Structure 1
């Protein structure tokens, strides 16, 4: 099992400037590397407090100089908002800063306000994602980029510095819908998803991904990456209080950023399936939906967190785990405590569980 740490770069802190928030997030990433996490990830978001990292490859280039062991993964580059040529160039440079410990994460984005800010029609998202992924992967394989399609007209140019490697064997794709899961499988990438509701409801999409991967590539899919907003505390009641405050805040941020109270997804080609989730939130009500979201995440004492992972492994088999310990305005000392408790008490047991799971399989 690989275990990752994800910076979401969210400033819901009442008393911190954006610079102070960045410093706190950087300290968490450096601590995760020191504590033995396998990978460090960072999201890409724009224009508001929901996520303040508009260039996650640039952020990881900085972490490359401050860390020693962890793999560095943009989680993810949102391809419809980025020029594929620039993505390929920046990934080539990142590898020079951290040779042998870089992977590529890609996604197509969901927030209407971010698409509007970039003047990109959401109806073009899937085409831009699929073509952009092909161009970036080919360029990092071949060392040049060239395209003449309706979406991308790119005269042949070399990628310099020359790419040290390709990323088809180190590719992660964010998947929050069946369409995205199938796209991840077709590209041969590992599926990374965010836990949103009771884990049983995630299983059909995971199985769809696995089935499509086997059909396209003739082999078993890599383990999915399961991402939780995580709060760990020595005291059970304090863990619950922190979770209901700060994971609850994160749910409100998610709902607002992606406009899940609206009806617009049903009219956007490629995003129709998200309307079902939005309708579920509306029918259940915001308060009940928030509670469902909190309970789906991983919070509690170290023993409680281990048990939730054990229950998941019984359902899904082997998987890779990702933690978000800083979101919803949680104080950075509390986030650091979650990280430390996870590394010292949860991580060793997770690795043993994963090893037993592989032997049993």
Structure 2
């Protein structure tokens, strides 16, 4: 059986009544707890102008977490290429790779048609048609030199400084089997990041559309309780408030409708498709998901309780009561 990696996925969500600074401190503490609990890696989300996630730069927070840890790998999930210059991201990756002993991973994605595009000046065109070019500029720069003569980037050749010591480990966020990101990842031989919203069937279809297995990363919600009902009770009390505030705050750059989900229905959906329950239930659900999707890497959204204590207890219980069974 191939080795499967297990990580945590930290969104830095601001639950009702919380302050941004305490949310970010909760995230850092959770990353440290994940290292202590024996996880392989921790992945950090990136959002702008939203309570859904209050970390605006995954690469910046990753730098801090790398400095606070010694063993665990740290990844971005994701760095948004529609609002970030790919050469600047390659520089940051190379610098942090050098000082962390190669512990930084890069997850990249297209993002959404949000007001970020207006604020940062990249524009809707970069979102609509620029992801492929941005990805290729990033991958070229990470080889040590960068140049471009495309629609969105045009500049003479420059060396990447600091010079990279290795190729980055890049994963590409895929929105589903029909997403163009699936094609782009497959053509470049890059593994995919499969989203939290998708169940096993959709993830398996996305892997099939890609053309097979390649260390793809599956995102799941995992909440361990003394029983299935106890874990569900935590989710039903905490998730709807965060989802209502967070999803409703998305503002599109061109007036198109933003995401619209009933927070209570979405909570039930997430609890139905993900490991939320007692340790045996979580182990069985994750084993089934790994078998059905063919993923070789699972990252777990562990902060759904919305509190530092609940998040750290959940991480500790997964590390002690779930991961050993999965790894055996």
Quick one: distance in 2 between partners of 1:310 and 1:176? 23
**Residue of structure 2 in register with 1:336 after alignment:** 312
**Residue of structure 1 in register with 2:202 after alignment:** 201
1:293 equivalenced with 2:270 (yes/no): yes
**Residue of structure 1 in register with 2:14 after alignment:** 11
- 1:116 positional shift: 3.5
> How many residues end up aligned between the 2 structures?
322
Deviation per CA, 1:75-128: give whole Å up to 9, x if none.
111111011221111111111221222222110002523333334333432532
- 1:252 positional shift: 3.2
- 1:294 positional shift: 3.1
Q: Judging changes above 3 Å, is the alpha-carbon distance between structure 1 residues 116 and 245 closer, same or farther for their aligned structure 2 residues?
A: farther
Quick one: distance in 2 between partners of 1:206 and 1:323? 19
Q: Could you tell me which of 223, 235, 248 is aligned with 1:231?
A: 223
**Residue of structure 2 in register with 1:272 after alignment:** none
**Residue of structure 1 in register with 2:279 after alignment:** 302
Matches within 5 A, 1:24-173: 24-125=26-127, 127-141=129-143, 143-167=144-168, 170-173=169-172
Quick one: distance in 1 between partners of 2:295 and 2:203? 15
| Paired residue secondary structure (1:41) | strand
Structure with greater proportional helix content: 1
Contact kept, 8 Å, 2:236 with 2:264, in 1: the verdict is no
Contact kept, 8 Å, 2:50 with 2:246, in 1: the verdict is no
- TM-score norm. by structure 2 comes to 0.89
Gaps of 5+ in 1: 212-219, 266-274, 353-361
**Residue of structure 1 in register with 2:256 after alignment:** 264
- 1:264 positional shift: 3.3
| Paired residue secondary structure (2:172) | strand
Q: Judging changes above 3 Å, is the alpha-carbon distance between structure 1 residues 349 and 73 closer, same or farther for their aligned structure 2 residues?
A: same
Quick one: distance in 2 between partners of 1:102 and 1:32? 16
Contact kept, 8 Å, 1:231 with 1:335, in 2: the verdict is no
